[in-house]
C-alpha cells in the first residue's frame, strides 16, 4: 500500500501515548502533507521543497499549543497509508489534510522539537529520530 508522509503538531499527552504503546488519536487527526494545492504552478515544484512547506505549516500550527503551556513545539513526521489521508479543502492552508486513522508509533519516523521553549522560528526546531522518543518527552517536560 502506498504511503504518504504527514507532519502533525503533537502534545505531551500524544508523546505519552506513543511511549505507552497507544496510538495518537482520535481520528480524524489534522495534519499537513504535500497536496496538489501545495504544488500549484507558480509555487514550489521540487518535492523536497514541497515537503518542507508542509512541515512548516505543521510547525506554525503547533505554536498556539506550545505558548498556551509555556512549552516547546513538537512536530511528528509519520508515514501513513495513503488511503487514510483525506485532503481537506482549506484554501488558506494548502497542505491541510486529515488522517482518518489513529497513528501508531511504528508510523512515526522523526520528531522535531524547539530548542528553547517559546521559540517560533523553524530554524529553532531540532531533529530527533523516532528511537529518541524518551529524550523528546524529557525535553518537552522541561526542567
- pLDDT tens, residue by residue, 3-15: 989 999 999 999 9
Q: Three-class SS of residue 68?
A: helix
> What pTM, to 2 d.p., does this model score?
0.89
**Which has more confidence, 93 or 7?**
7
Q: Where are the domains of the chain?
A: 3-141
Q: How many H-runs (helices) and E-runs (strands) does the chain carry?
A: 3, 7
In sequence order, what DSSP letters do the residues of 10-38 get, joined into one string? --HHHHHHHHTTPPB-SSSEEEE---TTT
- Name the architecture of domain 3-141: Alpha-Beta Barrel (3.20)
Amino acid at each position: 500500500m502506498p504511503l504518504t508522509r504527514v507532519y502533525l503538531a503533537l502534545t505531551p499527552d500524544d508523546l505519552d501515548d506513543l511511549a505507552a504503546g497507544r496510538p495518537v488519536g482520535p481520528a480524524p487527526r489534522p495534519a499537513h502533507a504535500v497536496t496538489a494545492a501545495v504544488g500549484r504552478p507558480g509555487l514550489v515544484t521540487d518535492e523536497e521543497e514541497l515537503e518542507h512547506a508542509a512541515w512548516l505549516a505543521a510547525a506554525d500550527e503547533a505554536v498556539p499549543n506550545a505558548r498556551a503551556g509555556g512549552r516547546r513545539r513538537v512536530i511528528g513526521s509519520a508515514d501513513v497509508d495513503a488511503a487514510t489521508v483525506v485532503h481537506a479543502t482549506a484554501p488558506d492552508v494548502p497542505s491541510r489534510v486529515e488522517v482518518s486513522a489513529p497513528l501508531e508509533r511504528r508510523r512515526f519516523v522523526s520528531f522535531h522539537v524547539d530548542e528553547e521553549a517559546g521559540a517560533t522560528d523553524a530554524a529553532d526546531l531540532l531533529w530527533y529520530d523516532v528511537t529518541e522518543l524518551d529524550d523528546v518527552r524529557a525535553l518537552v517536560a522541561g526542567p
